[in-house]
Amino acid sequence: MRELLPDVSTWTWFSDRFGYDFSGWHVRHPSGNLCIDPVQMSEEVLDELARLGVARIVLTNRNHFRDAERLRARTGAEVMIHPADAAFVREKGVTLGASLSAGQRVGPFTVVPADGKSPGEVALHWPERRILVVGDICVGNPPGALGLLPETVMDDPAALRLSLARLAETLDFDTLLVGDGASILSGARAALRTLVATF
């Protein structure tokens, strides 16, 4: 793992299908450390996460369950997801705890609706540090810019575009941490507005 920002570390897994990295996140916080969208990990990364401690595993959408159950079994962390995406993740063998809901605070983050790819997708906003974490609502590809996954994998492309427009207009953020592709560490709100302008 590497520390990308103070108290925010990441590890990656390369997707041959898409041709870029998928990222998992570990966030240190006094209320309990979080792991967000844990991608596939080596034993070394799993050991490091267990050493650092994980209180809660937050899934931004149903497809990002990935290595959540393996991490939960090792650390005893509670796995959280929006109820609209929970059944899919349970069917994949993940033991779930509390649900996520819009406006809820989880550690330093406020849960924000980001539906479209799936009905329960959420984003995580850290207002004090102007950080936004997203799962599949957009991707960092090419690096420095934002794009979308293929419409064939979206439940509701129109809803996804509306969600992105709402995030761009209502949230104050400068850093965008993406699950898929390259994150944008500064100027991210402008990059998202550029994407929204293409709709």
Tens of pLDDT, residues 32-44? 999 999 999 999 9
As a whole number, mean pLDDT of residues 106-122 equals: 98
Residue 44 to residue 99: CA distance in whole angstroms? 29
Q: Encoding tokens for residue 92? A: 């994949």
Confidence of residue 16 (pLDDT cuts 50, 70, 90): confident
Summary mean pLDDT of the chain:
97
Q: Is pLDDT at 17 greater than 90 in this prediction?
A: no
Q: Is pLDDT at 161 greater than 90 in this prediction?
A: yes
pLDDT of residue 18: 81
Asked if residues 120 and 112 have their Cβ atoms less than 8 Å apart, the reply is no
Instruction: Identify which has the larger pLDDT, 29 or 18.
Output: 29
Asked if residues 69 and 94 have their Cβ atoms less than 8 Å apart, the reply is yes
Asked if residues 177 and 135 have their Cβ atoms less than 8 Å apart, the reply is no
Q: Is pLDDT at 149 greater than 90 in this prediction?
A: yes
CA 47 to centroid of chain Cα atoms: 21
Whether pTM exceeds 0.95: yes
Residue 65 to residue 143: CA distance in whole angstroms? 24
As a whole number, mean pLDDT of residues 115-126 equals: 98
